[in-house]
Amino acid sequence: MDKGFSSDCVDLGEACKVLAKNHSVVTLLKKEVGDKDFPQALEMMKSGKLDGDLGASVHDFFLDSINNEAVPIWSGFIFQDNDRWPIRVNEYHGIFWVWALESESVGYFLDANRAISFARSNWENVYEDGEDPEEDAEIRCPFCDTTDNCDHLLLLVDETFRQAEGGVLYEAFNAKWAKIVTEADDPDFDEREPFDELLDEVDSLADSQLTASPDSVPGMSSNYSYFFCSSKAKTMAALKKFT
């Protein structure tokens, strides 16, 4: 799974609002554009609107600077077919971005924890450097790193037997699914498509999804999906919307 987007991301224009507050960045900007254009360029950064030729120059300068001068603050890997594909969270003067091999950048994060959470949840089987995929197979919340039930867990669902087993949406999901099956009233009713549509509805409310299967977690007999929200407030808002 690679959603390729995050609601926590901002574009470079918005990121420049943060960079404009950093003395080192401002010094670099002045050196790049010169004394004459510096005041206008700085105002563009503060507003987040990089317009015209000068704005394009500022955009390109910081795009290159971020890509080439950011430093890693977290590193891990995607474990796939016994291969380890590197993944990193990088920082450049208070803004953060996620790099993964053969994946496009989704934008910039203004919080390190949000960036790390995205890195750990956007792909399946992500491990921090030092973790052993063979030993550490438990599903962890991407927002608080616990393996126990937490306020971020929106739904835990057994996709093989099509039933929810945990999370804030547990009762509401099972009730909605039971109603769909009952109202179908057809012995040839194919459950797969409507069940997937119901999961898509949950996914639209979640900030992150993780999966587990017999292949990834030894001893597991079903395929499971875990849906998370980034805060308790979002989880409760999702419950209200779902019901």
Residues 62-81: tens digit of each pLDDT: 999 999 999 999 999 988 87
Beta strand pairing call for 163-166 and 153-158:
antiparallel
Residues 125-151: tens digit of each pLDDT: 888 898 887 665 678 888 888 888 899
CB 38 within 8 A of CB 72: no
Q: State percent of the chain over pLDDT 90.
A: 63
Q: How confident is the model at residue 1 (pLDDT cuts 50, 70, 90)?
A: very low
Q: How confident is the model at residue 104 (pLDDT cuts 50, 70, 90)?
A: confident
Give Cα 93 distance to the centre of its chain.
21
Mean pLDDT of the chain: 89
CB 72 within 8 A of CB 88: yes
Give the start-to-end residue ranges of the domains of the chain: 12-69, 71-128, 153-242
Residues 153-212: tens digit of each pLDDT: 999 999 999 999 999 999 999 999 999 998 887 778 889 999 999 999 999 999 888 888
Give the Å distances, CA to CA, from 25 to 6, 30, 32, 137, 163.
Answer: 26, 9, 10, 42, 52
Q: Per-residue pLDDT for 58 more than 90?
A: yes
Residue-wise DSSP of 3-31? ----TT-B-HHHHHHHHTT-HHHHHHHHH
Beta strand pairing call for 71-80 and 126-128:
antiparallel
pTM: 0.65
Radius of gyration of the chain (CA): 22
